[in-house]
């Protein structure tokens, strides 16, 4: 049975409530309805093709309909789709946990599964809090970074620092200490001054409150949802050092940066950082199925061990925790990293991205181009010389992305920052074409 575009659009508009979407605008517009995909292209119900320029919201790694991942899911489907991890083990979740323990920094060996990045963060927060209680210490506060994004559940929003989300749900959130994340483009002073300013704020909090703080949570190297804001070199290491010195747990949220996005398997690898807890999601299954993991150190895992009646159990779990289909997809994706030598190709193709971005940086309304590996944010400004931003009501980011869609590529803005996050497996030719669409969209929409 084939359904026409208009039929599905009507069903969608009547019944689907879209995420982060003003539904009044949505219902007034004509949606793109994706029907299938191939490689790095999405195909809509009318047969029009679009490059997947944001990896289906930062998830996709090897492209769509990858034979190896498709086969792994089908093979698992022939055995069992799901059985619970409460009281039972299963084959793919055990194999995947071992693989994650091997890939993550050396101190991280224990994997707690969930279904989304937000949940992996909730788990990290509850684990850190309970860890200290089990050691006999009441530490109920977390340190978070300004403009941080850790997901949309209540705990994750509490640990986040994006004002709009925070003020909307203010009374539901728990209190935190906040430290500025270095954003040199918007700092009045040198990069060194910016870093010193952020670290001094952290030092002040640690001096006065370290004993109340369970952990510091941070997006390592790149703050994604804030608009691809990038840490100067050495900043992550400095955070690790301070957490270590003050006895505060370091929680790195690698939900966006993990699995090759920054050119290494994990952002922490760039500075040889080993957190106490690492959260993973988005790219874990290659962008196929919802799966997340919270990976922890030996010390944290061991603190939860005890006699049954001591009640040291970690009281957390979801219906689909450790789902076999998801774990099978993740195993196949991680195997593809090796067999296709993906990280080497990412670093080779990075030269193409860098060169095209250097040209885009010359556009009249491009304030700053920020790039790390296959993560790019292009900050548009009303006036380059004064860095004066566009008024948010102008929706300049949306205009660029609308133009890009007309030219055959799906991208999403974050305010006035245009995000470009192609699948890691994009070929040189595909990248070139995507970047040329990006360039054209920016120049034409800001004319």
Ligand X SMILES: *Cc1c(COP(=O)(O)O)cnc(C)c1O
User: Which residues of the chain form contacts with ligand X (CB under 6 A)?
Assistant: 116-118, 121, 149-151, 219, 224-225, 253, 255-256, 281-282
Which residue's Cβ lies closest to ligand X?
Answer: 117
Smaller CB separation from ligand X, 62 or 150? 150
CA 352, chain centre distance (Å) = 23
- Spatial separation of the C-alpha atoms in residues 311 and 61, rounded to whole Å: 41
Q: What is the dihedral of CA 438, 440, 443, 447, to 10 degrees?
A: -130
- Spatial separation of the C-alpha atoms in residues 240 and 148, rounded to whole Å: 17
- Spatial separation of the C-alpha atoms in residues 193 and 191, rounded to whole Å: 5
- Spatial separation of the C-alpha atoms in residues 92 and 98, rounded to whole Å: 10
β-pair type (222-223, 229-230): antiparallel
Spell out the residues 6+ positions from residue 58 whose beta carbon is closer than 8 angstroms to its own.
Answer: 224, 256, 261, 282, 283, 421
- Spatial separation of the C-alpha atoms in residues 273 and 241, rounded to whole Å: 9
- Spatial separation of the C-alpha atoms in residues 290 and 281, rounded to whole Å: 8
DSSP E strand boundaries for 45-122: 49-52, 108-114
Phi, psi of 347 (to 5 degrees): -70, -35
CA 67, chain centre distance (Å) = 25
Positive/negative CA dihedral, 178, 253, 164, 184: positive
Say if residue 255 is exposed, middle or buried (CB neighbours under 10 Å; 0-12, 13-18, 19+): buried
List the end-to-end C-alpha distance of the chain, in Å, as a whole number: 44
């Amino acid at each position: 049975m084939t359904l026409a575009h208009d039929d599905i659009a009507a069903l969608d508009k009547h019944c689907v409530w879209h995420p982060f979407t003003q539904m009044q605008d949505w219902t007034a517009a004509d949606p793109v309805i994706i029907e299938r995909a191939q490689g790095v292209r999405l195909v809509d119900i009318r047969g029009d093709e679009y490059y997947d320029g944001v990896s289906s919201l930062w998830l996709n790694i090897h492209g769509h309909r990858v034979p190896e991942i498709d086969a792994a899911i089908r093979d698992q489907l022939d055995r069992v789709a799901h059985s619970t991890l409460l009281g039972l083990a299963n084959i793919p979740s055990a194999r995947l946990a071992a693989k994650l323990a091997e890939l993550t920094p050396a101190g991280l060996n224990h994997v707690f599964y969930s279904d989304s990045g937000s949940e992996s963060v909730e788990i990290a927060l509850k684990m850190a809090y309970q860890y200290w209680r089990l050691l006999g210490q009441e530490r109920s506060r977390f340190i978070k970074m300004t403009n941080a994004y850790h997901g949309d559940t209540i705990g994750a929003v509490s640990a986040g620092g994006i004002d709009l989300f925070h003020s909307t749900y203010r009374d539901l959130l728990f209190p935190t200490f906040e430290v500025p994340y270095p954003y040199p483009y918007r700092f009045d002073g040198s990069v060194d001054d910016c870093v010193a300013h952020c670290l001094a704020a952290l030092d002040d909090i640690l001096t006065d409150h370290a004993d109340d703080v369970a952990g510091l949570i941070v997006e390592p190297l790149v703050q994604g949802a804030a608009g691809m804001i990038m840490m100067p070199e050495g900043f992550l290491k400095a955070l690790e050092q301070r957490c270590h010195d003050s006895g505060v747990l370091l929680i790195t949220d690698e939900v966006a940066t993990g699995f090759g996005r920054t050119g290494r398997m994990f952002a922490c690898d760039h500075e040889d950082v080993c957190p106490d807890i690492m959260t993973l999601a988005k790219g874990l299954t290659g962008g196929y199925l919802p799966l997340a993991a919270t990976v922890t150190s030996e010390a944290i895992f061991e603190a939860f061990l005890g006699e049954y009646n001591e009640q040291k159990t970690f009281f957390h779990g979801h219906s689909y925790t450790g789902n076999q289909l998801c774990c099978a997809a993740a195993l196949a994706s991680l195997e593809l990293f090796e067999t296709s030598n993906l990280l080497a190709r990412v670093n080779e193709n990075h030269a193409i991205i860098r060169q095209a971005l250097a040209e885009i940086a010359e556009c009249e309304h491009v304030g700053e181009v920020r790039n790390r590996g296959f993560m790019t944010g292009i900050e548009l400004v009303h006036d380059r010389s004064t860095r004066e931003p566009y008024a948010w009501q102008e929706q300049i980011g949306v205009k660029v992305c609308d133009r890009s869609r007309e030219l055959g590529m799906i991208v999403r803005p974050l305010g006035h920052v245009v995000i470009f996050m192609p699948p890691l497996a994009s070929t040189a030719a595909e990248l070139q074409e995507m970047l040329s669409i990006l360039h054209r969209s920016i120049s034409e929409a800001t004319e």
